[in-house]
Amino acid sequence: MPRLHLGFLASHGGSNMQAIIDNVKSNLIDAELCCVVSNNSSSFALERAAKEGIPAFHISDKTHPGNCTDQIINTMKSHNVDTIVLAGYMKMVDARLINSFNGRVLNIHPALLPKFGGHGMYGINVHKAVIEAKETISGATIHLVDSEYDRGRILAQIQVPVFPDDSPETLAERVLQGEHQLYSNTLKHIADGLIII
Ligand code: GRF
């Protein structure tokens, strides 16, 4: 039986999710890919899931007004998920969802937290802020999700250089490559018992 049962929440491209899928399929991570939920019906993450044969669902405040969180919890539970992986999920996660999975909800942030996190710090805004602050090193952080943006326990980080001629876009691309390695390696360490959550 696989050690981790992963359920994904993703809003857009899902490239981190894809990197994890590839590493599960190649047996780097001892995990089962249980299901994918997106709040965005046209997200590429849902297409990726369909292509991979992973059960995929569009669940949002619009599809399930008033009980979106319950629907996400039920969907994850009915697919035997024990660990939730946020992969570019643009919604605040309700405390009930976190509690239903005993805090086993992970997120990736495209900077070295605790710097450059918090409200409004998402997507290209993060990389703009890093460049404006004249940082020479950026990176990505995997952390547990709690009720405040980007504040949960940090599990792992990867560093990447910031070059003097970087634009937010070139930096974002370098960080994203790092994210793909970091998310899979962290999940492998969790599956192998090297990181306890
Ligand atoms: C990543 O930069 C991640 O750090 C942030 O959202 C982005 C998701 O990218 N949370 P993708 O959908 O995995 O390609």
Tell me the pLDDT tens digit for each residue of 50-61: 999 999 999 999
The answer to whether the CB of 82 is under 6 A from ligand 1 is no
Ligand 1 atom closest to Cα of residue 19 = 13
Structure tokens at 134: 């004249």
- Residue 163 is predicted with a pLDDT of 98
Which of 46, 184, 76, 176 shows the shortest CA–CA distance to 124? 176
The answer to whether the CB of 9 is under 6 A from ligand 1 is no
Residue 31 contacts residue 191 (beta carbons within 8 Å): yes
Sign of CA dihedral 141, 90, 196, 96: positive
Does 109 qualify as catalytic in the annotation? yes
For 153, residues 6+ apart whose C-beta sits below 8 A from its C-beta are 143, 144
**Whether residue 149 has pLDDT greater than 90:** no
What's the rounded mean pLDDT across residues 27-31? 98
The answer to whether the CB of 179 is under 6 A from ligand 1 is yes
Structure tokens at 3: 């050690």
The letter for the amino acid at 122 is Y
The answer to whether the CB of 176 is under 6 A from ligand 1 is yes
What's the rounded mean pLDDT across residues 129-138? 98
- Residue 147 is predicted with a pLDDT of 82
Cα 53 to ligand 1 centroid, rounded to whole Å: 22
Ligand 1 atom closest to Cα of residue 12 = 12
Residue ranges per domain, the chain?
4-108+142-157+178-191
The answer to whether the CB of 174 is under 6 A from ligand 1 is no
Ligand 1 atom closest to Cα of residue 140 = 4
pLDDT digits (tens, 9 = 90+) for 98-125: 999 999 999 999 999 999 999 899 999 9
Instruction: Tell the CATH topology of 4-108+142-157+178-191.
Output: Rossmann fold (3.40.50)
3-state secondary structure the chain: CCCEEEEEECCCCCHHHHHHHHHHHCCCCCEEEEEEEECCCCCHHHHHHHHHCCCEEECCCCCCCCCHHHHHHHHHHHCCCCEEEECCCCCCCCHHHHHHCCCCEEEEECCCCCCCCCCCCCCHHHHHHHHHCCCCEEEEEEEECCCCCCCCCEEEEEEEECCCCCCHHHHHHHHHHHHHHHHHHHHHHHHCCCCCC
- Rounded CA separation 16/87 (Å): 6
pTM of the model: 0.96
Residue ID of nearest Cα to ligand 1 atom 2: 110
Choose, from 79, 109, 143, 180, the residue flagged as catalytic: 109
Ligand 1 atom closest to Cα of residue 86 = 10
Cα 110 to ligand 1 centroid, rounded to whole Å: 7
The answer to whether the CB of 109 is under 6 A from ligand 1 is yes
